Amino acid sequence: MEFSHTSVLLAETIEGLKIKPDGIYVDGTLGGGGHAYHIASQLSKRGRLIGIDRDHAAISAAGKRLQEFAGQVTILHGNYGNSQHLLQELGIDRIDGMVLDLGVSSHQLDDPERGFSYKNDTKLDMRMDTGQSFGASDIINRYNEADLFRIIRDYGEERFAKNIAKHLVKAREKAPIETTGQLNDIIRNAIPAKMRAEGGHPSKRTFQAIRIECNRELEVLKESLEELILLLNPGGRLCIITFHSLEDRIVKTVFRKSENPCTCPPSFPLCICGKESLGKAVTNKPILPTKAECEDNKRSKSAKLRIFERTSIIGTI
């Protein structure tokens, strides 16, 4: 299946990066190369772009799209959470900007073989990196009821999480749950008929929760954000596009803490903790897609862009 993905908040992200022609930039979620192409097109011959992605199909598609910038672009297979290590292997200690377009790509959702979508009946998978051994079926068939409940409640924000977890455990006692179709049926039966008619497809939130757990999406984001800020040169910017409230909350919290890390009690007249600001959040409120973009691309409706600018070189990687 040909890789296709429409970049969300493209113009706003490129503008937010404030690209320096001779700078070094990273697209940590390369995808089909949409954001990367527009970054590369603004670089001089001395500029450099590093693209990182977990998905081999994305890397292949991006490589073709970025061929005209072959001398300036380096594409790596990996997770943006390991950016520091990946960049050090290239001899790069600091960068001038980075883009993260979080969540699942259109290609991953639309390819039935990947098992991300509740719209197709296929093998349970949901791995962004197909070289990863752990998949969605492992979560569904091995996690205990309490953990299933927690994941579906917290990552899917599903009000019927407890009942869904209960039904999953009961169903797998008879036989392993191996397909998205089986999972759909179990979820549907766990939600009251009256509620199934409201708020879109009944499986949407649970599938989201399982995908997030399978790929450790929130853990990677939470664990790596401050490190990514520390990679930036003064004036460098980190642009992050999120697609649901849990991601956005993490980004907002880390940006706020990086801007004002002081842990002194409010009653103290002077700061004595010694923690200094790493920069500033350029966006107090997230940038949202325009009405026109939402109409053209329905998947952009929940997107939010937040930007952080490094203003100090204080702090070590």
Position 298 scores a pLDDT of 86
Percent of the chain at pLDDT exceeding 90: 79
Read off the pLDDT band of 74 (50, 70, 90): very high
Segment 52-73 shows an average pLDDT of 94
Element (H, E) at 17: helix 10-17
Position 274 scores a pLDDT of 77
pTM listed for this prediction: 0.91
* Number of neighbours of residue 185 by Cβ within 10 angstroms: 16
pLDDT of residue 157 exceeding 80, the answer is yes
User: Which residues are registered as beta bridge partners of 232?
Assistant: 95
Nearest-CA neighbor of 79 among 233, 219, 247, 208? 219
pLDDT of residue 5 exceeding 70, the answer is no
The SS3 call for residue 277 is coil
Type of residue at 134: F
Percent of the chain at pLDDT exceeding 70: 97
Across 17-31, 112-126, 293-307, the highest mean pLDDT is recorded for 17-31
The three-point CA angle 72-76-79 to 5° equals 135
* Number of neighbours of residue 57 by Cβ within 10 angstroms: 19
Q: Which residue has the tokens 């098992």?
A: 115
CATH superfamily, region 10-107+218-310: Vaccinia Virus protein VP39 (3.40.50.150)
- What gap in Å lies between CA 298 and CA 110, rounded to an integer? 14
What class does CATH assign to 131-214?
Answer: mainly alpha
Position 176 scores a pLDDT of 97
Report domain extents, the chain: 10-107+218-310, 131-214
Phi, psi of 272 (to 5 degrees): -120, 0
Tell me the HSE value of 158 on the side-chain side, using a 13 A CA sphere.
31
- Average per-residue pLDDT in the chain? 92
User: Which residues are registered as beta bridge partners of 52?
Assistant: 76
73: region left, alpha or beta (phi > 0 left; psi from -120 to 50 alpha):
beta
Q: In this structure, are residues 13 and 84 in contact, taking their beta carbons and an 8 Å threshold?
A: no
Asked, colleague to colleague, whether 10-107+218-310 and 131-214 share their fold, the answer is no
Residue 275, CA distances (Å) to 147, 226, 265, 281, 314 in order: 37, 14, 13, 17, 10
pLDDT of residue 316 exceeding 60, the answer is no
**pLDDT tens figures, 254-302:** 999 999 988 888 888 888 887 889 999 999 899 999 999 999 988 899 9
Position 315 scores a pLDDT of 52
Position 88 scores a pLDDT of 97
Position 314 scores a pLDDT of 59
